[in-house]
Structure formats: structure tokens, C-alpha cells
């Protein structure tokens, strides 16, 4: 993508996230009924209406791009420009009246993630980034911390259910013991904190690309390293995350990488 198209696409993504925020705030105030998808995960009218609002704006702004969304699947050809959309990431939190949910919008150009917007309307933060353009929190540029020693590192874990049955579980315990502090912020929140220098490492073993694509762009543009738990770059099939300041990521990867 050329720089002009990137700016236009980022503007559209931010507008789409703002439109979704209006839908989400509406249903947050009035409450919603909850349905279960075939995979037993919850979905609400807020999820569906937010995705419709997002799609309308993105497709008008960049009609040549396909859209892959959490609620309505793929529309268009996946091989070129591809929007990745989770209109309400954290529906379980939403229905339990916990403000740790967000709208995630990212754009891929071939295999490369080129921009991302992460909007958490009830929590009160919006972050965005584009490749080479830095990471921004509500208009202020952000950077990761310069933490270089595990003994000084703050670590956050998200969903690590699969990791509990993994050979690396013991290594994770040792890493936590050697660290300065452990928390479990989860969802968008710990990536926002990482990008603005408030913690140093994020570990998750159970995610999908729609959860993390936009956040990966933001975290990288803030100066961190973002891979899966094995150190591999992100793909549409990525299911785990190791994200951190360059020095802490490298040390954690050495300790958690499977032999």
C-alpha cells in the first residue's frame, strides 16, 4: 500500500471503530439477551450490529479489500487487502458488565499487517498504529518501556488454559518466580499497557487472529516484539502470543521455546 492509501484506510478504521462504539454504548446501557454460537461462545445483538456498522464504513472507504469478521465471516477475496474485524472482542466481559472488551480492526496487505485500531469505549481508550507511523493512544504517541532484566519485568497473562497442560507450564512458573510482578489483565488491556510502557511481557496460549491482529501492529509500532509462543511471526492461524520489550521477549522466548 502506498502512504496515501494507508492514511485513508487508517482514517476509515478509526471512523468504523467510533461507529461501533456508539452501538456498543447503546446496548451497554440497556442490556442485551445472550445467545450461544455452535462453539458455545456467547454472541449478542451488540456484536452483530457493531460489525454491520464497521463493514459499511470499511467497504465504502476501501471497496477493493475483503472483510473477514467474527460474526459474518469472509466477504471478498482473501488473497489481497483483507480487513480483520472483531466488533466486540470480550463478549463474556460485556454480558457480565465488566468493561474489559473492545473493538479490534486491522488491515492486512498480503501477509503483512499494516494498520490496527483498538477501541475500548467503556474502558475509555482508543489506540491505533500503522506500519512505520508509530503507535498512538488518544492522540499521544506511546513507546514501550526499556526494561531489560527479568527481575525487573512486569508480566501479564491472558487466556493460558491450553498452556496449563503443556510442557512449558513449569517454565512459565519459573519465569514468573524470577520476575518482579505478575498480573492477569487480559484481552486488549494488557497490550495497551505494554505499548505505553506500563508492563513488559504478555503471554497467551488461546487466541485467534481477530483478537490480536490490530494489537500486534500497535505493540510493534510502540517498539515491542510480537510473536507466537514459539517465536514465529503472526499468520491467520496464530493461536498464541509472546509479546514484550525486545530484551524481555528474547529472554522469555529462550525459556519457553519447546525443545
What pLDDT is stored for residue 1 in this prediction? 80
Q: DSSP string spanning the chain?
A: --HHHHHHHHHHHHHHHHHHHHHHHHHHHH----EE-TTS-EE-HHHHHHHHHHHHHHHHH-TTSEEEETTTEEES-TTSEEEEEEEEETHHHHHTT-S--EEEEEEEETTEEEEEEEEETTTTEEEEEETTS-EEETTEEE-------GGG-EEEE---TGGGGSTTHHHHHHHHHHSSEEE---HHHHHHHHHTTS-SEEEESS--HHHHHHHHHHHHHTT-EEE-TTSPPP-TT---EEEE-HHHHHHHHHHHS--
What pLDDT is stored for residue 149 in this prediction? 98
**pTM for the predicted model, two decimal places:** 0.95
What pLDDT is stored for residue 5 in this prediction? 86
Taking only the tens place, the pLDDT of each residue in 27-58 is 998 888 888 888 878 888 999 999 999 999 99
What pLDDT is stored for residue 78 in this prediction? 79
Taking only the tens place, the pLDDT of each residue in 56-72 is 999 999 999 999 999 99
Taking only the tens place, the pLDDT of each residue in 160-174 is 999 999 999 999 999
In the chain, the domains with their CATH numbers are: 3-133 (3.30.540.10), 150-256 (3.40.190.80)
CA pair distance 219, 29, nearest whole angstrom: 31
What pLDDT is stored for residue 211 in this prediction? 95
What pLDDT is stored for residue 4 in this prediction? 85
Using a pLDDT cut of 90, give the percent of the chain over it. 86
What pLDDT is stored for residue 40 in this prediction? 77
What pLDDT is stored for residue 171 in this prediction? 95
Residue segments in the chain with a per-residue pLDDT below the cut of 70: 258-259
Amino acid at each position: 500500500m502506498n502512504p496515501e492509501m494507508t492514511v485513508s484506510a487508517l482514517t476509515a478504521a478509526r471512523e468504523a471503530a467510533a461507529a461501533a462504539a456508539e452501538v456498543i454504548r447503546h446496548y451497554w446501557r440497556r442490556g442485551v439477551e445472550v445467545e450461544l454460537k455452535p462453539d458455545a461462545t456467547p454472541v449478542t445483538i451488540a456484536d452483530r450490529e457493531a460489525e454491520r456498522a464497521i463493514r459499511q464504513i470499511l467497504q465504502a472507504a476501501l471497496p477493493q479489500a475483503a472483510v473477514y469478521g467474527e460474526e459474518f465471516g469472509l466477504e471478498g477475496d482473501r488473497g489481497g487487502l483483507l480487513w480483520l474485524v472483531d466488533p466486540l472482542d470480550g463478549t463474556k466481559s460485556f454480558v457480565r458488565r465488566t468493561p474489559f472488551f473492545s473493538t479490534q480492526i486491522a488491515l492486512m496487505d498480503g501477509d503483512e499487517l499494516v494498520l490496527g485500531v483498538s477501541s475500548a469505549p467503556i474502558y475509555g481508550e482508543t489506540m491505533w498504529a500503522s506500519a512505520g507511523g508509530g503507535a498512538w493512544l488518544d492522540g499521544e504517541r506511546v513507546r514501550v518501556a526499556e526494561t531489560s532484566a527479568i527481575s525487573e519485568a512486569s508480566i501479564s497473562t491472558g487466556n493460558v488454559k491450553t498452556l496449563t497442560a503443556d510442557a512449558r507450564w513449569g517454565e512459565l512458573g519459573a519465569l514468573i518466580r524470577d520476575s518482579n510482578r505478575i498480573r492477569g489483565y487480559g484481552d486488549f488491556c494488557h497490550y495497551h499497557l505494554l505499548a505505553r510502557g506500563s508492563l513488559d511481557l504478555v503471554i497467551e496460549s488461546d487466541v485467534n487472529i481477530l483478537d490480536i491482529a490490530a494489537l500486534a501492529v500497535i505493540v510493534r509500532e510502540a517498539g515491542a516484539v510480537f510473536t507466537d509462543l514459539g517465536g514465529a511471526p503472526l499468520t491467520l492461524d496464530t493461536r498464541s502470543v509472546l509479546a514484550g520489550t525486545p530484551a524481555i521477549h528474547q529472554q522469555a522466548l529462550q525459556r519457553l521455546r519447546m525443545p
